[in-house]
């Protein structure tokens, strides 16, 4: 049992003004495994003020030389790496992420992201002299945007946190991070790592909390920018607030991505199973960019249905802390109820259930749902259009490549997608026509060096790559 009575504000652990606590449960056992304080509005004010002071100080973090900031960020990465094993265990038990995924991704990538931006700012020239149209010169300056509020979901809590604080800190911003109530025990270790690395007081503040705390943070007058990863509904609410305040906002929201399986695709699971599994069922389906809509050519439709069905039925479902588990439990009872509601809706709308649809009989405790596949799904149906966020995949037939692209784009979302083919040139041509911020060929592997963006109802702004750093910088021109 982990009972932590403090929040991380101003570079130290402090007690909140609230006497309430947030209990954290294991997705595997449904039992309480820890608790943290439930902060109140005064704590939000204190955290923002600490970040504001750290940013406004004339000798503070924004004024450090890039090399000095980079050194601290590398130390932060080293400190996180030392704790990566325990971070992985805590994340896995809290949200059901298979421990192999937590070890390889959520606990390891934050250090990689920090080191990437530490290296990047060494070559980032803060000022550029340009010849002006009037015959003189203009000094174009890049400056940190200010105090950044980062709102983080529970599905990949550390990767998604790092994708916010790493470029923000590299740019010279200070931050207030709000983890989700479902995954806060790992955030304690992140704060400890920040302390060990010597981040100056107030540069990184971590304040767990629910919707009310997030709303106060987003609208706080001391905040200069908001970055949120969450549902489209939450993104619209945050976007409305930031629009009214004329405040920059970066939103990564929901997705309902398509997997376009072309008629020449390899369907031998021995060859492509290792790529299909994370693309379709990664993190128990609790991943926004998953290709949860499979589009199959009519000429090979039955073969595709058989392949995806066999894949789903082959996956090992079990305790997320077991090394053999490929699909763990969902994060909460509420999330399981939501997913089961969509499964019932799929049946009601006439889709053909070919795999799963229930709970694994051998799992008596925990919020489990069997990997589920629906065939003969109309692309306009609820389960094909709405984000389910669980291990549920739909299969819809198409006639030709043009029809496949049309179906893929017939969605309010535009976050991810995949194209499966043995002809790379053909696959690339199809990918170019998909209305999505990212697309993978024969798999989906986000790249630290390349921008990850979203369009339509999937969000605004960009993450990763040099473009991810620019999101936390403003531009100033001095006409000489």
Report the pLDDT value the prediction gives residue 414, as an integer from 0 to 100.
Answer: 97
Closest CA to 47 of 189, 145, 144, 149: 149
Q: Tokens 């994370």: give the residue.
A: 278
Tell me the average pLDDT across 417-434: 98
The pLDDT value recorded for residue 4 is 87
Could you give the CA distance from residue 105 to residue 121 in angstroms, rounded to a whole number?
Answer: 24
Average pLDDT of the residues in 105-117: 97
Q: Which helix (H) or strand (E) holds 45?
A: helix 41-56
Per-residue pLDDT, 16: 86
Per-residue model confidence as pLDDT tens digits over 8-59 = 999 999 988 788 899 999 999 999 999 999 999 999 999 999 999 999 999 9
Residue 73 CB contacts under 8 Å (≥ 6 apart), including other chains: 114, 115, 117, 118, 166, 169, 170, 197
Per cent of the chain over pLDDT 90 is: 95
Residue-level pLDDT at 426: 98
Is 288 a catalytic site residue? Answer: yes
- On whether the CB atoms of residues 443 and 100 are closer than 8 A, the answer is no
pLDDT at 330: 98
In this predicted structure, what is the pLDDT of residue 135? 83
SS3 assignment, position 382:
helix
Annotated catalytic residue: which of 173, 182, 242, 252? Answer: 252
Stretch (H or E) spanning 175: strand 174-178
Which CATH code fits 2-253+458-479?
3.40.605.10
Give the start-to-end residue ranges of the domains of the chain: 2-253+458-479, 258-447
268 near 417, Cβ under 8 Å?
Answer: no
Of all residues in the chain, the percent with pLDDT exceeding 70 is: 100
Residue 313: per-residue pLDDT:
98
**pLDDT reported for residue 33:** 97
Residue 136: predicted pLDDT: 87
pLDDT at position 118 over 80: yes
pLDDT per position as a tens digit, 432-457: 999 999 999 999 999 999 999 999 99
Question: Across residues 339-358, what is the average pLDDT?
Answer: 98
- Of 173, 182, 242, 288, the catalytic one is 288
Per DSSP, the residues of 82-121 read HTHHHHHHHHHHHH---HHHIIIIITTHHHHHHHHHHHHH
**Residue 14 and residue 23: Cα distance in Å, rounded?**
19
Q: Cβ distance 199 to 172 under 8 Å?
A: no
Q: Is residue 331 within 8 Å of residue 26, measured between CB atoms? A: no
Dihedrals phi, psi of 356, to nearest 5 degrees: 70, -140
Which of the two residues, 289 and 19, has the higher pLDDT score?
Answer: 289
Mean pLDDT of the chain: 96
Q: For residue 402, indicate whether it is catalytic.
A: no
Architecture of the domain made up of 258-447: 3-Layer(aba) Sandwich (3.40)
What whole-number distance in Å separates Cα of residue 356 and Cα of residue 372?
4
pLDDT surpasses 80 at 164: yes
The pLDDT score that the predictor gives to residue 17 is 78
* Residue 190: predicted pLDDT: 98
């Amino acid at each position: 049992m982990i009972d932590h009575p403090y929040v991380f504000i101003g570079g130290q652990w402090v007690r909140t003004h609230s006497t309430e606590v947030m209990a954290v449960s294991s997705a595997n056992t449904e039992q309480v495994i820890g608790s943290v304080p439930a902060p109140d509005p005064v704590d939000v004010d204190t955290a923002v003020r600490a970040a504001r002071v750290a940013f406004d100080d004339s000798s503070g973090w924004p004024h450090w030389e890039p090399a000095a900031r980079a050194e601290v960020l590398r130390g932060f990465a080293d400190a996180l790496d030392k704790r990566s094993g325990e971070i992985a265990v805590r994340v896995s038990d809290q949200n059901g992420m298979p421990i192999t995924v937590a070890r390889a991704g959520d606990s390891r990538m934050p250090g990689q992201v920090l080191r990437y931006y530490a290296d990047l700012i060494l070559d980032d020239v803060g000022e550029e002299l340009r010849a002006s149209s009037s015959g003189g010169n203009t000094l174009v300056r890049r400056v940190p945007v200010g105090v950044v509020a980062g709102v983080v979901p529970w599905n990949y809590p550390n990767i998604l946190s790092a994708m916010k604080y790493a470029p923000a800190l590299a740019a010279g911003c200070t931050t207030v991070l709000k983890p989700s109530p479902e995954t806060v025990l790992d955030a304690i270790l992140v704060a400890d790592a920040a302390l060990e690395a010597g981040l100056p007081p107030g540069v990184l503040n971590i304040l767990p909390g629910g919707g009310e705390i997030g709303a106060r943070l987003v609208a706080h007058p001391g905040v200069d920018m908001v970055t949120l990863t969450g549902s489209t509904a939450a993104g619209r609410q945050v976007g409305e607030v930031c629009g009214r305040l004329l405040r920059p906002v970066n939103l990564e929201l929901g997705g309902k991505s398509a997997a376009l399986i072309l008629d020449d695709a390899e369907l031998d699971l021995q060859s492509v199973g290792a790529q299909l599994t994370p693309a379709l069922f990664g993190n128990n389906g609790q991943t926004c960019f998953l290709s949860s809509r499979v589009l199959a050519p009519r000429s090979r439709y039955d073969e595709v249905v058989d392949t995806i069905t066999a894949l789903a039925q082959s996956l090992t479902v079990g305790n997320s802390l077991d090394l053999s588990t490929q699909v763990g439990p969902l994060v909460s009872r509420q999330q399981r109820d939501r997913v089961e509601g969509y499964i019932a809706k799929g049946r009601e709308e006439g889709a053909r259930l070919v795999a799963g649809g229930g709970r694994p009989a051998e799992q008596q405790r925990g919020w489990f749902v069997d990997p589920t596949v629906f065939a003969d799904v109309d692309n306009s149906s609820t389960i094909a259009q709405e984000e389910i966020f669980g291990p549920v995949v739909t299969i819809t037939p198409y006639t030709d490549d043009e029809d496949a692209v049309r179906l893929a784009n017939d969605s309010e979302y535009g976050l991810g997608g995949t194209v499966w083919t043995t002809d790379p040139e053909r696959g690339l041509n199809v990918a170019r026509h998909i209305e999505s911020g990212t697309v993978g060929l024969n798999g989906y592997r986000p790249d630290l060096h390349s921008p990850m963006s979203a369009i339509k109802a999937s969000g605004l702004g960009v993450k990763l790559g040099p473009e991810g750093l620019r999101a936390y910088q403003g531009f100033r021109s001095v006409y000489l």
